[in-house]
Amino acid sequence: MNKLTFGEQIVTCKTGDTVLDTLLNNNLTIPNSCRQGACQSCLMRCLNTKPPAASQIGLKDVLQEQKYFLACICYPEQDMTISLGPQANLFTPATVISKEILNPETILITIACEQPLDYYAGQFVNLRRADGLTRSYSIANSRKHAEKMTFHVRRLAGGQFSQWVHQELSVGDSIEVSDPQGLCFYLPNRQEQNLLLIGTGSGLAPLAGIIHEALEQGHSGEIHLFHGSREMDGLYWIDEMHELQKNHPNFHYTPCVSRGDTPEGVARGRANEVAMSTLAKLKDWRVYLCGHPEMVNQAKIHAFLNGASSKDIHADAFHVASASLD
């Protein structure tokens, strides 16, 4: 028999019982449905040890890496401390150490946390100001620079938090940051695998972190980035991405605009459509999609139809102020 610690509750799991059986038998409410490891509604996370391999069958690599498991098919092999997900309500004090303009609507802020946070490139955190107003932003840097975090904050019409960041937040100000969350991140477990990354607007932020992390880890597969906006002034880091492409032969960058004139080197059309027409066969590719929800949803379908496995498609849809698609 092994002990399960769930929040403030400690219960004993009898031999032959699953984690889900034990929790339900002790009147602890856990989402569940099929009880056969198919629906994944009883997904939980182990906080102190790696769960049994059999309890992770069918989960994405990024979930397995973070010690998620299916409670209905988990037979504990040792004591486990478990939770239903990341600890989004835990915050760490941080200080703004730089602020710079990326384009007319987007700025980059860099913060230094009082205590280093362990994260994967591509994850997001919740940023909270003194009055409690909180918004989610993707981490834009790799883990090589884990002593700090950078974010691309796009100004949203009527957005309280983004307007405050643009107009009032200053270097030296304090802010709080939650524990990292999200499953759209890079793992260096299949370095020969080709990567496709598609982003719109500030969706470049997590993709940039993923790209830098992959290159720093020696990723050998091809890496294709398609970054889109409606017009040219919505793009940014064009020179930086071209320089990265120059220094890394396996990295390929395509900026895209869907309206207006397109200078040489910029593709005409929506980023997802340009990407899918350029790379029509995605079997065995890993795909990352970040930005406008409509783009993300369309690209997920197209990537799957073009041969990518659903387990290899990672997505992070951003809140937008309008329904127009970049």
Residue 65: count other Cβ atoms within 10 Å of its Cβ: 16
2-83: CATH topology is: Ubiquitin-like (UB roll) (3.10.20)
Given this model, what pLDDT does residue 326 score?
46
Given this model, what pLDDT does residue 38 score?
75
The pLDDT averaged over each successive group of 10 residues in the chain (326 residues) is 92 94 92 80 91 92 88 95 74 95 96 87 92 94 83 92 96 93 86 97 95 95 97 95 97 95 91 95 96 93 95 82 44
Q: Select from 32, 10, 6, 8 the least CA-distant residue to 21.
A: 32
Given this model, what pLDDT does residue 1 score?
86
Given this model, what pLDDT does residue 88 score?
55
In whole angstroms, what is the distance from residue 194 CA to residue 101 CA? 32
Q: How much is the pTM? A: 0.78
- Boundaries of every domain in the chain: 2-83, 91-178, 195-317
Residue 8: count other Cβ atoms within 10 Å of its Cβ: 5
Contact 289, 316 (CB under 8 A): yes
In whole angstroms, what is the distance from residue 46 CA to residue 69 CA? 7
Phi then psi dihedrals of residue 270, to 5 deg: -75, 145
Given this model, what pLDDT does residue 36 score?
84
Given this model, what pLDDT does residue 324 score?
40
CATH architecture of structural domain 195-317: 3-Layer(aba) Sandwich (3.40)
What type of residue sits at position 291? G
- CATH for 91-178 is 2.40.30.10
Given this model, what pLDDT does residue 93 score?
94
